[in-house]
Amino acid sequence: MFVRRRFSTCLLTLAAAFVLWSPARPARAVTAEDLKPRPGEAVATFAGGCFWCTEADFEKVPGVTRVYSGFSGGKEVNPTYEENSAGKTGHLETVQVFFDPTKVSYKDLVEYFWRHINPTDPGGQFVDRGKQYRSAIFYHDEQQHQIAEESKKRLEDSGVFAGKPIVTEIRPYEIFYPAEEYHQHYAQKNPLRYRYYRFGSGRDQFLKQVWGEAPASAEAKPVPPPQPFVKPSQEELKKRLTPMQFEVTQRGGTESPFKNAYWDNKAPGIYVDIVSGEPLFSSLDKFDSGTGWPSFTKPLEPGNIVERHEKTLFSDRVEVRSRFADSHLGDLFMDGPPPTGLRYCLDSASLRFIPREALEREGYGKYAPLFK
């Protein structure tokens, strides 16, 4: 078995890595005008730990019109992310949620908030530790105050958290300072980084354990292969595939570096699953990783990629599989180049390359404009 890793990733330091990647002091693009409710909008303010996660969660709620990440609860004026993440301010990472009260009520938003945090944690939220990551509800008027207090009391009485006290604060709203532009809508702008961070934080694992299911994700929808696909039997696959293709896709094997079909392929086109034909990666995102395996910074169709996380004592492996065929494709690492910082390290044996000139003929014409 060949080793693909350059280094192991410590999940507890992922947040720091993302900060180092970000600009030192970028401009704030969210203006004071943006933070005013528009006609028909109401506003709510919540602190739920990492504002990337809290923002992404509330953006999924029907009736929520806008969400911004920022800081509330302290006295410091216009703090930077670096200052706040270092615990140098009294602010909490917070989201400002604008919503249409004819479509979703403030009570519903509070109930939704409880199901996306750990309200029993006084020291932060999940992997993010420190006072700046504590949970809180900042009420804007007495009606919101009453709704939040009654909702908190119902949660305490429910026994969902086995008698642990609900420590989430309910505080009067004073002011909200927006975070820097690169933090706004982070899950949308950096979906792969965000998903990897979120898994490593332990948030969804905790929520599934408490509530029985993980919150809905923002993953892209899968794009099926050109023809309806039913996975063949193992016996049929043994006949259709070469021994190496079968070993890799069905048994999770790894082929030799620098001795496989596509490690040095520079032709324009797309890569599809060898079994199903589902579109997976593009030559536009391929790079020379120096490992001897074909490597990509991102998928062509994220919805067709399944990431399976396997924890060991000293490292965390992320296996990459295809959605329709459930083929083993390779592994995902966090040591790739910009713009994603990701390295999808794959086995050529799991792939079939469709050159640019054959896309229409093979049924992948929708991707032809990418190469014009």
Give me the active site residues, please: 50, 345
332-355 as b/e: b if 16+ CB within 10 A: bbbebeeebbbbbbbbbbbbbbbe
Nearest to 198 by CA among 2, 7, 15: 15
Please answer whether residues 168 and 152 qualify as being in contact, where contact means their C-beta atoms are separated by less than 8 angstroms: yes
Beta bridge partners of 272: 279, 352
The tokens for 139 are 């009420």
Give the number of other Cβ atoms within 10 Å of residue 234's Cβ.
9
SS (H, E, C) 293-334: CCEECCCCCHHHEEEEEEECCCCEEEEEEECCCCCEEEEEEC
Q: Which of 320, 249, 258 is nearest to 294 (CA)?
A: 258
One-letter amino acid identity for 65? Answer: T
362: tokens are: 């093979």
DSSP 350: G
- Which amino acid belongs to residue 31? T
Judge whether 326 and 273 are in contact, CB under 8 Å.
Answer: no
Q: In this structure, what are the phi and psi dihedrals at residue 332, rounded to the nearest 5 degrees? A: -115, 135
